[in-house]
Amino acid sequence: MALACVIVHTTDRAVSSTFYVSPQGNDAWSGKLAAPNAKKTDGPYATVTRAQQAVRELKREEDRDPQPICVYLRGGTYYLPEPLVFTPEDAGTAAAPILYAAYAGEHPVLNGGTPITGWRVVDKRWETTLPEVAQGKWNFIQLFVNGERRYRPRLPKQGYFTIAGQVPPPPDALKASDSFIFHAGEIRPDWANLRDVEVLAFQVWTMARMRIADVDDAQLRVRFTGTSCPGNWWGFEKGKRFLVENVREALSAPGEWYLDRPTGVLTYLPRPGERPDTAAVIAPRLDRLLELRGDVEAHRWVEYLTFRGLDFQYVNWVTPPRGENSPQAETTIPAAITAMGARNCALERCTVAHTGTYGIDWQSACRDNRVEECDLYDLGAGGMKIGNASSRGVTEELAVERISVRQCRLVGGGRLHPAGVGIWLGCASNCTLARNQVVDFYYSGISVGWVWGYDEPSRAHDNLIASNYIARIGQGVMSDMGGIYTLGVSPGTVIQGNVVDDVEGLEYGGWGIYFDEGSSGIIATDNVTSRTSSAGFFQHYGKDNVVTNNVFSFAKNGQIQRSRMEPHRSFTFERNIIYWDIGPAATGNWTDKQYVIDHNLYWRTDDDLPVCAGKTWEEWQQQGNDTHSIVADPGFVNPAKGDYRLLPESPAAGLGIHPLRSQADTSPAPFAAPRAYPSPGGA
């Protein structure tokens, strides 16, 4: 969608199709000049909203020949008083698209936060009073200093607490509980602002962020304002981990902060070298920054809008009164940029950072949209959501289709909601996720599908997941995850040329490629998985999947795994290289023969023969498995360094295994942030 902005000449006048916005601008000016004139009587607008109004006015001119319109934002920070909302009134057309872009060589920042100033130093602590907080008009649970996230005080200071006892759910809550038993001293009823204290209760593949209703110190029981999970997966189970956050009495370490809501006093403990007169302290205010809001009922869409080179920063999210507990993947958490009924729109070379939410969300009736070369980092939840969470009731017009995400870098997610996914592709079809980096998340890297089992019709089909680099996933915080995770019937979906490295589940389930409940009709080819805490490939249950020409390497607990017998062919596993150093080659349930496994190359680096599902290699082959497979060194260039190219003398070619064709960018992630949650070792 290349855009060119021109001057349209008519017989009566010349009409400019280019507008400018600048922090030094004035909304009373024409917006036709890139900088103020010498007399300061004309120049750029001061706000994007005024430019948006000007674009609407220009479009309404009856004698205007439709032409592309460009709005250029000069460098600097624009503190948004409210989210930018684009409706069908702002739409372009194929012949006359509309562009909102950074001025050449400059860096405009659309900021949803508020600078915090007026600090006074009290006993080496910084303090300031925020009247809007005391008046109940503003609240925040995130704070950023010099562009870095700071955390509220937590207990314990290292590691986790564990639940001492489970409490039966209330009669009206089915499986969901509103209480648990803690060990003495871990939660106290006399803490300041007790209802602002939050308990972060880790389950298996999700975490509940709960508000305290009351504490019974005699029974060592904490009760919450909500219940453990609206999806009724489980209650708060004995032995599960939890943290306690926002405890004023625990404020002690440099970098911690506490907001006393009744008084509006914000306290910050500075890190070495930070000064109150020079530190840039930002608290988020807006819960989203950009919204594309089509009128779905009227069949009117937001179309042909492109946003290029814009930096969206600081997005608020506050724990709701009844707490927050999504059944999976934090799909209930909103996003900094949301779109519904958007078509032929694009985000190019934009940044989304410092959020309490997801970064971008393509919702119902979105299609033919692009996200290209964008950076999403320091995210409260996941990076991007695409599609509906269910196929039920989704008409053709509401379906999400043909969303393309290419060459984006998504780094450092789950900072408030650890079950957020790097890219969550739900019930959407014909989408492409290609050549992206997904690094440093606590749950799955890319998630595809989202229909459980075989019975429900699925709109998740014909999706391409290609040449993505997915690394540092799980990190021992959550369980039951995959570098690439699929769920449900997904005919025509192809997972090709991806590199998955370093996936670590806590209790179980840090898989490389994970076909979960009902995953069907999927092809996985030319992928590399390495250093996973569970198998490189795992299928829970599914139908007619094809896994071919992949490398599965250095998993810690079996290299390939299958868990369920089924009355149909679950998958075909052929012409793969399995390369490892410890443990068995195959684990799980392989007794029903409803699968094909053959023409593979196995090599354990200590020269031991493979052990497969408790069978010796000879016994495994006698059962009809891997009858044409071989045990031999595949001849990788440098597997210790992740170089899985094949040397010319490799025996792989004799099995029909061709060299991998991945174009994944495995260069180091461009952003880095400290861990948000303790490691398995407690640090």
pLDDT in tens, 616-674: 999 999 999 999 999 999 999 999 899 999 999 999 999 999 999 899 999 998 899 89
* CA dist., res. 164 & res. 201, Å (int): 12
pLDDT for the residue numbered 16: 56
Q: What is the mean pLDDT of residues 307-320?
A: 98
Tokens found for residue 123: 């006993």
pLDDT for the residue numbered 452: 84
pLDDT for the residue numbered 100: 98
Local confidence band at 11 (pLDDT 50, 70, 90 cut-offs): very low
481 CB burial (10 A radius; 0-12, 13-18, 19+) = buried
Local confidence band at 393 (pLDDT 50, 70, 90 cut-offs): confident
386 plus 449 within the same structural domain: yes
Q: What's 221-289 look like in SS3?
A: EEEECCCCCCCCCCCCCCCCEEEEECCHHHCCCCCCEEEECCCCEEEECCCCCCCCCCCCEEEECCCCC
544 plus 585 within the same structural domain: yes
Residue 173: is its pLDDT beyond 70?
no
Residue pair 510/537 in contact by the 8 Å Cβ criterion: no
Residue pair 108/44 in contact by the 8 Å Cβ criterion: no
255 plus 240 within the same structural domain: no
Local confidence band at 261 (pLDDT 50, 70, 90 cut-offs): very high
Question: Could you tell me if residue 187 is inside a domain?
Answer: yes
Q: What is the pLDDT of residues 479-530, one digit of tens each?
A: 999 999 999 999 999 999 999 999 999 999 999 999 999 999 999 999 999 9
Local confidence band at 63 (pLDDT 50, 70, 90 cut-offs): confident
121 plus 210 within the same structural domain: no
Question: Could you tell me if residue 354 is inside a domain?
Answer: yes
Q: What is the mean pLDDT of residues 434-449?
A: 97
- How many Cβ atoms are within 10 Å of 271's Cβ, its own excluded? 15
Tokens found for residue 592: 């029903």
Tokens found for residue 674: 């400290």
pLDDT for the residue numbered 644: 95
Q: Is 149 helix (H, G, I), strand (E, B) or coil?
A: strand
Residue pair 629/598 in contact by the 8 Å Cβ criterion: yes
Tokens found for residue 454: 């075989």
Domain that holds residue 86: 7-104
Per mean pLDDT, which range of 71-85, 218-232, 332-346 is the poorest? Answer: 218-232
466 plus 553 within the same structural domain: yes
Q: What is the pLDDT of residues 524-562, one digit of tens each?
A: 999 999 999 999 999 999 999 999 999 999 999 999 999
pLDDT for the residue numbered 683: 65
pLDDT for the residue numbered 48: 98
Question: Could you tell me if residue 62 is inside a domain?
Answer: yes
Q: What is the mean pLDDT of residues 359-387?
A: 98
593 plus 630 within the same structural domain: yes
Q: Is 654 helix (H, G, I), strand (E, B) or coil?
A: helix
Q: What percentage of the chain carries pLDDT values higher than 70?
A: 96
**Pairing of β 207-216 and β 409-411:** unpaired
Tokens found for residue 317: 């999210």
Residue 296: is its pLDDT beyond 60?
yes
Average pLDDT, the chain: 94
pLDDT for the residue numbered 10: 31
Q: Measuring CA to CA, which residue among 267, 326, 272, 6 is closest to residue 133?
A: 267
Q: What is the pLDDT of residues 15-52, one digit of tens each?
A: 459 999 999 999 999 999 999 999 999 999 999 999 99
Cis amide bond preceding 156, omega within 30: yes
Question: Could you tell me if residue 587 is inside a domain?
Answer: yes
Q: What percentage of the chain carries pLDDT values higher than 90?
A: 88
Instruction: 651-655: list long-range contacts, CB under 8 Å, 24+ apart.
Output: 651/601, 652/577, 652/601, 654/630, 655/575, 655/599, 655/600, 655/601, 655/628, 655/629, 655/630
* CA dist., res. 227 & res. 175, Å (int): 9
Question: Could you tell me if residue 293 is inside a domain?
Answer: no
Report the domain count for the chain: 4
380 plus 462 within the same structural domain: yes
Residue pair 94/128 in contact by the 8 Å Cβ criterion: no
391 plus 274 within the same structural domain: no
Residue 231: is its pLDDT beyond 80?
no
Local confidence band at 682 (pLDDT 50, 70, 90 cut-offs): low
243 plus 256 within the same structural domain: no
Tokens found for residue 554: 């250095």
Residue 289: is its pLDDT beyond 50?
yes
624 plus 592 within the same structural domain: yes
Local confidence band at 391 (pLDDT 50, 70, 90 cut-offs): confident
Q: What's 66-114 look like in SS3?
A: CCCEEEEECCEEEECCCCEEECHHHCCCCCCCEEEEECCCCCEEEECEE
Residue 603: is its pLDDT beyond 50?
yes
Per-residue burial over 362-378, b if 16 or more Cβ lie within 10 Å, else e, is bbbbbbbbbbbbbbbbb
Question: Could you tell me if residue 296 is inside a domain?
Answer: no
Distances (CA, A) of 552 to 88, 205, 229, 589: 48, 24, 35, 19
Q: What is the mean pLDDT of residues 193-222?
A: 96
Q: Half-sphere exposure (CA, 13 Å, Cβ side) for 642? A: 17
Residue 456: is its pLDDT beyond 90?
no
471 plus 517 within the same structural domain: yes
* CA dist., res. 175 & res. 265, Å (int): 40
pLDDT for the residue numbered 175: 66
**Residue 295 gets which letter from DSSP?**
B
Residue 112: is its pLDDT beyond 60?
yes
Chain centroid offset of residue 598 CA: 36
pLDDT for the residue numbered 201: 96
Out of 206, 230, 249, a domain closes at 249
pLDDT for the residue numbered 12: 32
Tokens found for residue 461: 């089909």
Question: Could you tell me if residue 553 is inside a domain?
Answer: yes
Tokens found for residue 639: 């597997």
* CA dist., res. 516 & res. 218, Å (int): 44
147 plus 179 within the same structural domain: no
* CA dist., res. 615 & res. 617, Å (int): 6
Question: Could you tell me if residue 311 is inside a domain?
Answer: no
Helix-, strand-, coil-residue percentages of the chain, each rounded to 5 = 5, 40, 55
What is the distance between the terminal CA atoms of the chain, rounded to a whole angstrom? 48
**Residue 608 gets which letter from DSSP?**
P
pLDDT for the residue numbered 282: 98
pLDDT for the residue numbered 233: 59
